[in-house]
Amino acid sequence: MNHELISPQGLRIDGRRQNELRQISIKLGVLDRCDGSSFYLHGNTKVIASISGPKHPSKASSKKDENFYFNVRVKFATFSKNGERQKVMKNSKLLGEFELNLKNIFKSVILVEKYEKSQLDLNIEILQTDGGSEICAAVNAATLALIDAGICMREYICACTASLTSDGIPLLDVSHLEEISGGPTLTIAALPRIGDHDQSVSFVELSQKFYLKDLNKIFDCALRGCEKIRAILDEAIRSNANETAISELTDN
């Protein structure tokens, strides 16, 4: 089945090339009642991320034995998937793991020492998804929302998936259709400083088996994807910064 993932002409099921991302569109500051927010559209996946804080910790969160109260909540809209309506997921293990992963990913990049004793809430609404790799969209959307909120971060964090055809051709940014067609999937979240030597990866998840000899190839493919996404995010952020330019910011 794997061999159908890419045609002899080198095109994938949805017409993309092997190392091509799906369409990504971005908007910052979509919700104005919170401190930072973003809308992230990746293929058919639509995600809204919002940030509240940093603020004085609420009573409930200050009981926790931590120095930085970082809460992550993820919600799937009941209408987010094609076909049957989704049941409202509450406190499910799957969602819990999703949230924990996000929390760990971002704790590695936020300059936590600047937010001692404060509370920061990251909320992810998954409005629509075609099935796979919601975590990638969530990570990228959250990076944008954190930046919009002016939270101090070491680097952008970008997430991307990659797969492999049976002929050993790596595929970037796996769509749902490709995922269910049986290809193995690697998901990574990385700090992809372009051209730098100190790129680091803060999250890796592998589904199905790979031959160890292929791992490097597929890993590299996913990392290049993160770099590409970083460039897209960076461009969107810069153009947003120019659009929302405060005329006299510098002579303040």
Partner 1 sequence: MTSNIKINLLIDKPKYTADLGDNNYRVFTPGESITEQKDFMRGHGTYVENGEIKSSVVGVVKKINKLISVIPMKSKYTGEIGDVVVGRVTEIQKKRWKIDTNSRLDSVLLISSINLPGGELRRRNAEDEQSMRKLLQEEDLLSAEVQNVFVDGSLSLHTRSLKYGKLSQGILVSVSPSLIKRRKTHFHNLPCGVSIIIGNNGYVWVSPTVNVELEGQGGFTQNLEAVSKTDREMIVRIKNCILALSSCYVMIYDTSIMLAYEESLKYEPKDLLNQDIMYEVGFNAKQRLLMVNQ
Partner 2 sequence: MAYNPLSEAEKTFILHGVQDDFRNDGRSRRDYRPMEFETNVITSASGSTRFCLANSDIIVGIKPEIDVPLSNRPNEGKIDFFVDCSANALLDFEGRGGEELALEISNCLRLAYSAAESFDLKALCILPKHQCWKLFVDILILQCSGNLYDAISFAVKCALFNTRIPRVSSALLDGGNVDLTLSDDPLDCDRLNVESAPLLVTTCRIGDQCVVDPSTEEEICSTGSIVIGVSQDKVTLLKTISGSFHPETLENSIDLAVNTALKINTKLLSALKEEEKKIGPSIRHHKSSFLM
Binding site for partner 2 (CB under 8 A): 25-27, 30-34, 37, 39, 41, 44, 46, 48, 50, 52, 58, 60, 73, 75, 77-82, 84-85, 88, 121, 123, 125, 127-129
Out of partner 1, partner 2, none, what residue 117 binds, judged by CB under 5 to 8 A for its kind, is partner 1
Supply the minimum distance, in Å, between the C-beta of residue 71 and partner 2.
Answer: 9
Let me know: does 157 contact 181? Beta carbons within 8 Å: no
Report yes or no: 233 and 26 within 8 Å, Cβ to Cβ: yes
Structure tokens that stand for 232 in this block: 């897209």
Instruction: List Cα–Cα distances, 177 to 114, 158, 249, in angstroms.
Output: 43, 22, 48
**Which segment (3-11, 127-135, 147-155, 159-167) binds partner 1 by CB under 8 A?**
147-155
Binding mask 102-141 for partner 1 (x = CB under 8 A): ---------x--xxxxx-----------------------
- To partner 1, the closest distance from the beta carbon of 221 in angstroms equals 22
Which pair of structure tokens corresponds to residue 117? Answer: 């004793």
Based on CB atoms, which residue is closest to partner 2, 32 or 198? 32
Please state the closest distance from residue 29 (CB atom) to partner 2, in A.
Answer: 11
DSSP string of 85-146?
PPPPP-S-HHHHHHHHHHHHHHHTTB-GGGGTT-EEEEEEEEEE--SS-HHHHHHHHHHHHH
Q: Which is nearer to partner 1, 42 or 230 (CB)?
A: 230
Cβ closest to partner 2, residue 34 vs residue 157? 34
Please report how close the Cβ of residue 130 comes to partner 2 at its closest, in angstroms.
Answer: 8
Pairing of strands 69-76, 119-128: parallel
Q: Is 227 in the site for partner 1 (CB under 8 A)?
A: no
Question: Among 3, 37, 1, which Cα is nearest to 168's?
Answer: 3
Q: In what order do the strands lie in the sheet with 119-128?
A: 24-28, 36-42, 45-55, 119-128, 69-76
Residue 247 as a binder of partner 1 (CB under 8 A): the answer is yes
CB of 204 closer than 8 Å to CB of 223: no
Q: How far is the CB of 111 from partner 1 (least distance, A)?
A: 6
Angle between helices 134-148 and 93-107 (to 10 degrees): 40
Give the interface with partner 1 as residue ranges (CB under 8 A): 29, 35-36, 53-56, 111, 114-118, 147-156, 191, 193, 234, 237-238, 241-250, 252
